[in-house]
Structures are given as C-alpha cells and as structure tokens.
C-alpha cells in the first residue's frame, strides 16, 4: 500500500481573495495607484489576509510587489524602505503549474520607527489593493 502526503492544505485559508478586483492602474513613475485605506487591521499583517497583488507573468514576480510597496509611505508620509525576508505559508492555487502559491513577507521601515513592520504579499491571487492600517499612500509626483 502506498500512502502519499502533501504539505499543502487542499483548502485555502486566504480570506480576502476577490477575482472581480480590477487590475491596478499604474502611475507615471510605475507604481500602483492606490486610493483606498484598509479599515481591517489584519490586511497585509496577517497571513490569512495578505495583500493580493496578482501578476500576469512569472518572469518578474517581484515587479508588482515593488509597484505596490513603492506606492506606500510611513504614517506621516515618511519614505519607507523594504526588504523581502521570507517566503512562507503555502496555499492551493490554480494559477501556478505546481498547484500552490506562497506568500512573501516584507519588512517595512522608515526613519523614527521603533520596530519594523511585516507585510504579507501574495502575487498569485487577486484582491482590492488598499493601503494597510498604519501606513499612508505616497504622494504622486
């Protein structure tokens, strides 16, 4: 008898996927245009409520993450810096050849901040792009 196990759950725990979300528009400086602030404190900060960025091709998966992150600022408009620190949290996805997607965790910081924050970004699924609680939308040039 052969038993097989998988490390990926057959049920997704992601709570904020929305296939009807519009494709984000780009600004002149190649960042996403974000107009809404999230009211949900879990949005982006909890692995079950990641920022669902979605991308068209796999050639440069970080491009849309950067377009999102470059559209954000600190709580008072401070310039933020970010570093991808980990990939985690596999979930089932019909949008990948292997049938699973992963979340990328970014550390976000700005001058004067006491402790960096972590944001969970998902490039495999779609959702409405919003500014996470505690951050602001960067002013467009």
Q: What is the pLDDT of residues 13-44, one digit of tens each?
A: 888 889 899 888 999 988 999 999 999 999 99
First to last CA, the chain: 64
> Residues 90, 51: contact at Cβ < 8 Å?
no
* pLDDT of amino acid 1: 45
Is there a domain that residue 104 lies in?
yes
The domain of 140 spans: 14-141
Burial 67-82 (b: 16+ CB within 10 A, else e): bbbbbbbbeeebebeb
7 found inside a domain: no
Residues in the chain: 141
**What is the chain's mean pLDDT, rounded?**
88
φ/ψ of residue 69, rounded to 5: -65, -35
List helix spans (H) across 16-70: 62-69
- What pLDDT, on a 0 to 100 scale, did the predictor assign at position 48? 95
pTM higher than 0.75, yes or no? yes
The verdict on residue 1 lying in a domain is no
Domain assignment present for 5 = no
Query: What local confidence, expressed as pLDDT, does residue 3 receive?
Result: 42
Domain-located, residue 34:
yes
Q: Is residue 3 part of a domain?
A: no
The per-residue pLDDT for range 86-114, each reduced to its tens digit, is 999 999 988 888 888 899 999 999 999 99
- pLDDT for residue 55: 67
Structurally, how many domains does the chain consist of?
1
């Amino acid at each position: 008898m052969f038993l097989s196990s998988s490390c990926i759950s057959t049920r997704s725990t992601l709570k904020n996927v929305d296939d009807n979300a519009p494709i984000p528009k780009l600004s002149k400086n190649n960042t996403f245009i974000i107009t809404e602030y999230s009211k949900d404190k879990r949005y982006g900060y909890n692995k079950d409520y990641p920022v669902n960025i979605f991308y068209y091709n796999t050639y440069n998966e970080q491009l849309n993450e950067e377009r999102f992150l470059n559209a954000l600022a600190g709580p008072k408009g401070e310039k933020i810096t970010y570093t991808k620190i980990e990939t985690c949290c596999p979930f089932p996805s019909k949008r990948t050849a292997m049938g699973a997607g992963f979340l990328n965790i970014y550390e976000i910081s700005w001058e004067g901040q006491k402790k960096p924050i972590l944001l969970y970004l998902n490039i495999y699924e779609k959702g409405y792009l919003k500014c996470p609680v505690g951050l602001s939308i960067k002013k467009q040039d």
